[in-house]
Structure 1
Amino acid sequence: MTRNRVFIGILWAAAAIALLAFAYFRFVAPQIEARVSDGLGVGDYELVTTDGQPFTQDSLKGGATAVFFGFTHCPEVCPTTLGDVAGWQDELAADGEELRVFFVTVDPERDTTEVLGDYVGWVPGTVGVTGTPEEVKKAEKAFMVYSAKVPLEGGDYTMDHSASVLLFDEDGRFFEPVGYGEGFDRAVAKIRRMIGA
């Protein structure tokens, strides 16, 4: 009789855990995700683009947009990502689709508008963004990206930073990230889903 009671108790505990897990994933997790998505890119940052325009949270509205944080002295991730973006732009342009791209520096001390303009100028639809170190930090917080200065020998430095491209729909709402090295077809499919949504 005692074994049966223990077994029934275990079954009830398992059922309760399953019910709690279902409730979390069905009701709580989507609300947390929605709050994060709605808040991404929102903040009181004010940067400047390489074409002399202000870059604020309102800059994300008005068309399909991609935002990438990087820096011009980046040895691998940034040039590779810009190469990927150029490929996406070619593919989208063939079907008459457009993607606005903002390359936001995490190294404003070295990346002036002139330096950024030269760096991103070869990628269609891509605009560089910079500002004061304080405003860049505000933008990083608003987009929930990470960056840190890493000292090198001889007094130089590099930057460690997040490597995803963040996609925003025409209303300026976060859609999905494109991970570094995710693959051409998957990235273009995400962008097209966003444009068609």
Structure 2
Amino acid sequence: MRTRRAVILGLGGAAGALAFTLGLGWWQSRGRAQSGADLLPVPIAEMAFTLTDHRGNTVRPADWIGRPTLVFFGFTWCPDVCPTTLSDISGWLEELGPDADRLNCLLISVDPERDTPETLADYLANFDPRITGLTGPMAEIERAAAGFRAKFEKVPQGDDYTMNHTAGVFLFRADGNFGGIIDYHEDRRFALPKIRRVLG
């Protein structure tokens, strides 16, 4: 069995590349079946789900209203996309300085079978402490993903499994309205300006 530390260090890159490729494909191909407002995440005030954070607290979307929000879907056994993105987020928070304290910064696990609050707490200790991990029953994770228009699926991998998922970082303004996305493949120079726009 792989250790979580090995996962964080990036072993199993092929699985991560597959997760990224499929996640990006989901994000880009949705427009073929949907259009207009159906493509965009709904406002946070219209989302309805209940999750538990990595400190054991109950969290609902309504708790985020009043502060800009940054959300990423991922999982602790992700070999490279998730730790890379969380490292990027940690760097962005550092570059933002005191303004970063005004953000809700959240990782929603798509693998609640393995990602308990305790597991998330251990994993997130490797990144900026302002990042909050969320997990809960699969039905609640699915409700959250539906609101964000995110996709994920469990993929068998030998005796184990991986999770394919949308890999973008979702941004929302303080009023809960969608403010944009930082796509995994885009030039990272554009990330901070996007975050600063939702910070106002």
Report the counterpart of residue 145 of structure 2 in structure 1: 140
Contact 1:37/1:173 (8 A) holds in 2: no
TM alignment of 1:155-194, pairs within 5 A: 155-194=159-198
User: 3-state DSSP class of the match of 1:109?
Assistant: coil
Contact 1:43/1:139 (8 A) holds in 2: yes
- Cα separation, 1, equivalents of 2:177 and 2:110: 22
Runs (4+) of structure 1 moved beyond 3 Å? 35-38
- Size of the alignment, in residue pairs? 162
Once the two structures are overlaid, the 10-residue window that deviates more, 46-55 or 137-146, is 46-55
Is 2:17 the partner of 1:45?
no
- Cα separation, 1, equivalents of 2:43 and 2:146: 9
Structure possessing the higher relative contact order (Cα contacts under 8 Å, 6 or more residues apart): 2
TM alignment of 1:31-42, pairs within 5 A: 32-33=36-37, 37=40, 39-41=42-44, 42=46
Is 2:102 the partner of 1:97?
no
Structure 2 gaps of 5+ residues are 1-34
Deviation for aligned residue 1:160: 0.4
TM-score normalised by structure 1 residue count: 0.76
Report the counterpart of residue 127 of structure 1 in structure 2: 132
Once the two structures are overlaid, the 10-residue window that deviates more, 51-60 or 179-188, is 51-60
User: 3-state DSSP class of the match of 1:39?
Assistant: coil
Counterpart code for 1:39: V
Structure 1 gaps of 5+ residues are 1-28
Counterpart code for 1:109: E
Q: Deviations over 1:132-167 (max 9, x none)?
A: 1111111111111100001011x2100000000000
Deviation for aligned residue 1:125: 1.1
Counterpart code for 1:152: Q
Deviation for aligned residue 1:64: 1.6
TM-score normalised by structure 2 residue count: 0.75
CA RMSD of aligned residues (A): 1.8
- Over alpha carbons, which structure has the higher Rg? 1
